[in-house]
Amino acid sequence: MLKPSILAVLLATALPFTALAQDKGADTVVATVNDKPITLGEMIVMKQAASQDPQMAELSDPALYEMMLDQLIQQTAVAAAGKENAGVRAQLEIQRRNTLAAAAITEVTKAQPTDEEIQAAYDKLFAEAKPTTEYSAAHILVDSEEKAKEIKGQLDGGADFGTVAEQNSTGPSGPNKGDLGWFSADQMVKPFADAVAAMEKGQISDPVQTEFGWHVIKLNDTRMREAPKLDEVRDEIAQMVLRDKVQAEIQRLTGAATVEKVEGIDPALMNKTELLETE
């Protein structure tokens, strides 16, 4: 009788091997250390964490598998020598609760916001929004009114505002010729915002005092900012809807929980780290 060809053997055994690979589950043991199992699920979780590292992401699956398995073997061997005490148990319990809480939140965020939810959130934010005045201005910030008046005199005499700002302003915008970019009134402290709102384009203010010091301000331009179009902020609105859902679920679960705070615990006990050393 002729022996079957190698190809025939491979074809005959391909399906069983494929099925075997597919039958592997998260509880499949990939190694043991002193009879302590290391599972495929642990490898998958470790790979998820490693995927955040660009260098790890470049490794092939076989290379990454061997590296992670070696790390888990070392971790398991060293962990066996660790001594469990109150501190270790507390850390493990916090990690366990964090992991379960993260899993619960992940379930909430699986469903992406619908178009109706995004539209409703957009309308709530912008339906009644009125055009807002924005200002483009520069300033020179100094620590005294006397210095501010001196600078105003230089500017009135024809000195270049940007040059004077670079030479004298103590604010972070000084090296940039005092330029503050575009801003709305609610982004500035009130005395500064009030001064800018009362100025004409190209005007340089008298010294203005705020909690930061004394300012000499130049108004470069103004413009009206309309509410953004939905398509321009869709991604941000979607993230906001998801955050609101997560917060609502946290509040719902916390509100439904039976909570009993133990009275009479001295808050100073949190400083007694020696309690963590107890068995």
The contacts of residue 92 (CB under 8 Å, 6+ apart) are none
CA distance 206 to 145: 10
Q: Are 148 and 216 in contact (CB under 8 A)?
A: yes
Neighbouring C-beta atoms of residue 197, cutoff 10 Å: 13
pLDDT digits (tens, 9 = 90+) for 7-18: 333 334 444 444
pLDDT at 127: 81
Q: What span, in angstroms and rounded, lies between the C-alpha atoms of 162 and 41?
A: 62
Quickly list H helices, 33-144: 40-50, 54-57, 61-79, 86-110, 115-126
Query: What is the overall mean pLDDT for the chain?
Result: 89
Helices (H), 169-275: 190-197, 230-256
The DSSP secondary-structure symbol of 200 reads P
CATH assignment, 132-225: 3.10.50.40
CB atoms inside a 10 Å sphere around CB 57: 10
* pLDDT score recorded for residue 22: 55
Quick: pLDDT tens for 110-138: 989 999 999 999 999 888 888 889 999 99
Q: What's the first-to-final CA gap in the chain, in angstroms?
A: 71
3-state secondary structure 129-165: CCCEEEEEEEEEEECCHHHHHHHHHHHHCCCCHHHHH
- Cα 61 to chain center, whole Å? 29
Give the start-to-end residue ranges of the domains of the chain: 24-82, 132-225
| 191-250 per-position pLDDT tens digit | 999 999 999 999 999 999 999 999 999 999 999 988 888 999 999 999 999 999 999 999
Residue 131 is predicted with a pLDDT of 87
